[in-house]
């Protein structure tokens, strides 16, 4: 897996989805945002994680936010 990949955590009909930019499908769908963020960090491998809040706005999490 490549290092420093950009990953998004987005609201989904079944919970929270983790996906790379321009992906047609989510890498995974989780019940909680915390579970999705944990998986997104693994996929990003040090890259930026963009997290969508319940109101739809995104915030960027850097590796230093852990």
Q: Helix, strand or coil for residue 11?
A: strand
pLDDT given for residue 39 in this prediction = 96
- Looking at the 3D structure of the chain, how many domains does it have? 1
Give residues with Cβ within 8 angstroms of 35, minimum separation 6.
16
Please provide the average confidence, as pLDDT, over all residues in the chain.
89
User: Domain range holding 42?
Assistant: 7-57
At residue 4, the pLDDT reads 80
Question: Which are the contacts of 41, defined by CB distance < 8 A and separation ≥ 6?
Answer: 49, 66
Residue 64 pLDDT:
53
Is 63 part of a structural domain of the chain? no
Domain assignment present for residue 1? The answer is no
Question: Around 25, how many Cα atoms within 13 Å sit in the side-chain half-sphere?
Answer: 2
Q: Does some domain include residue 64?
A: no
- Asked if the model's pLDDT at residue 13 lies above 80, the reply is yes
């Amino acid at each position: 897996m490549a290092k420093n990949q950009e990953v998004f955590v987005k609201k989904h009909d079944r919970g929270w989805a983790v996906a790379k930019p321009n992906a047609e499908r989510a890498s995974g769908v989780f019940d909680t945002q915390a579970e999705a963020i944990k998986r997104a960090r693994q996929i990003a491998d040090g890259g930026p994680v963009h997290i969508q809040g319940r109101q739809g706005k995104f915030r960027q999490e850097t590796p230093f936010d852990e």
